[in-house]
Structure 1
């Protein structure tokens, strides 16, 4: 959060400084009477341009916030599916059940230690690809021997499908949502709005500076929100792998309880792919 605060402070400082500098240059080279004569026209144009820009910026801000919320829900759904697979695997015969539970532990650990770091750069983890492929292969090739195993197999396949779909959505959301063209349009539109405030014949310069600064701050804050929440897996404000951390903790606790109830049983060996 400290880095975000410093970034915001720097952006506001630069934006305000440039806005004031531009206003002072206009007031220096254009007299008050000339500005006052264009007051009405500038007002109409500003209302049109401002409305169009407000609609576009508003949609993008709302879209960024929705993207962040959906990313949190996606991670929670993926982790919940993993937890369900871990539980369902208890009913499978040995060694398939133990290996599947072991792979669930590896998957959760890989999310926390590897893939979350990769997603900060819009990439995925090769280790995660390997473990999810191993899980799919194991489940698909499992041959049920009775009705109970058939029901368990169907349930595990359904949960695995949920996990894979949410993982795909998560990796898609980790990719850059707005390219340089979108950012160029947003920044250019903000500059145009600030420049329009220069062409009003306000008698007191201090009052016009204050109005220009307030407009600049409002625009900069909205753009900062887009940058902050439009990339849900990078930056200071990002979706954390908390659901997978909770999964991993529960997995270890349940394995300990299982071993204490059945001392002869061994906890599934965690084998890295």
Structure 2
């Protein structure tokens, strides 16, 4: 649009509008593939949190309803573990670490109480249900901790940035002879490209960090 550069660029006028579809489709495809890789971590972590909270509710329910479990410390230890997870381990996960020593102690105490209660009448269905709930808790906890951080190759990130720049360049060359149309088209194209890039950037570190992070709300329902 500058008078000094316009004669130089106008020599390349003639790029037709359908040419825009080539870089646009490649940008969309690359963004979708990158988003799938990133958001899959969120899906796994969210599923682990739901499984863990539901299984802990099962333990508490069994502790409050089965007669020979009512005198145990199952319900108390389970709630202490959840409270420690919310207050201690969640901050640890947000810092990129896998676990909290304080929460580990609460988990070990809950595990010991579960095994102790299950061994009272090991052949009963209630004891087997209690052990199954614990195994689900243990698996979900390990999964949740494993996804505290993840690595994504930077070349994939560079590729989507490069394709985004190509989209803007193609839009500019299509509207070389119409300055006002160029301004509108570049504004819309820039916002369109920046939207998925910003969302991906906010989810690039960990499911427990940043503005777009997983909430510990399922655990809060347990200790209310």
| Cα distance in 1 between the residues matched to 2:178 and 2:103 | 63
Matching residue of 2:129: 155
Deviation at 1:107, TM superposition (A): 1.0
Q: 1:53 aligns with which of 27, 44, 49?
A: 27
Q: 2:103 aligns with which of 125, 128, 146?
A: 128
Alpha carbons 1:32, 1:203 under 8 Å: kept: no
The answer on 1:28 being equivalent to 2:11 is no
| Cα distance in 1 between the residues matched to 2:147 and 2:4 | 46
Deviation at 1:218, TM superposition (A): 0.6
Q: If each structure's helix is expressed as a fraction of its own residues, which one has the higher value? A: 1
Q: 1:182 aligns with which of 153, 156, 160?
A: 156
The answer on 1:117 being equivalent to 2:91 is yes
| Cα distance in 2 between the residues matched to 1:232 and 1:143 | 34
Q: Deviations over 1:128-170 (max 9, x none)?
A: 22322333344346563446x6432211110111112222232
Matching residue of 1:244: 219
Query: Is there any run of 5+ residues in structure 1 with no aligned partner, and where?
Result: 1-23, 250-273
Query: Is there any run of 5+ residues in structure 2 with no aligned partner, and where?
Result: none
| Cα distance in 1 between the residues matched to 2:62 and 2:92 | 30
Two-structure CA RMSD over aligned residues (Å):
3.2
The answer on 1:144 being equivalent to 2:119 is yes
Deviation at 1:65, TM superposition (A): 5.0
Deviation at 1:63, TM superposition (A): 5.2
Alpha carbons 1:144, 1:150 under 8 Å: kept: no
1:35 partner SS: coil
Paired positions, count: 221
1:202 partner SS: coil
Written as runs of structure 1 = structure 2, the 5 A alignment for 1:1-273 is 28=5, 31-37=8-14, 39-40=15-16, 44=19, 46-62=20-36, 64-65=38-39, 67-90=41-64, 91=66, 93=68, 97-98=72-73, 100-123=74-97, 124-140=99-115, 144-146=119-121, 150-176=124-150, 178-200=152-174, 202-229=176-203, 231-249=206-224
Pair 103,25 (structure 1): closer, same or farther in 2 beyond 3 Å: farther
| Cα distance in 2 between the residues matched to 1:156 and 1:69 | 26
Alpha carbons 2:88, 2:100 under 8 Å: kept: yes
Give the alignment's TM-score, normalised by structure 2: 0.80
| Cα distance in 1 between the residues matched to 2:158 and 2:50 | 34
Deviation at 1:243, TM superposition (A): 1.5
Higher relative contact order (CA 8 A, sep 6+): 1
Runs of 4+ in 1 over 6 A off after TM superposition: none
| Cα distance in 1 between the residues matched to 2:60 and 2:86 | 17
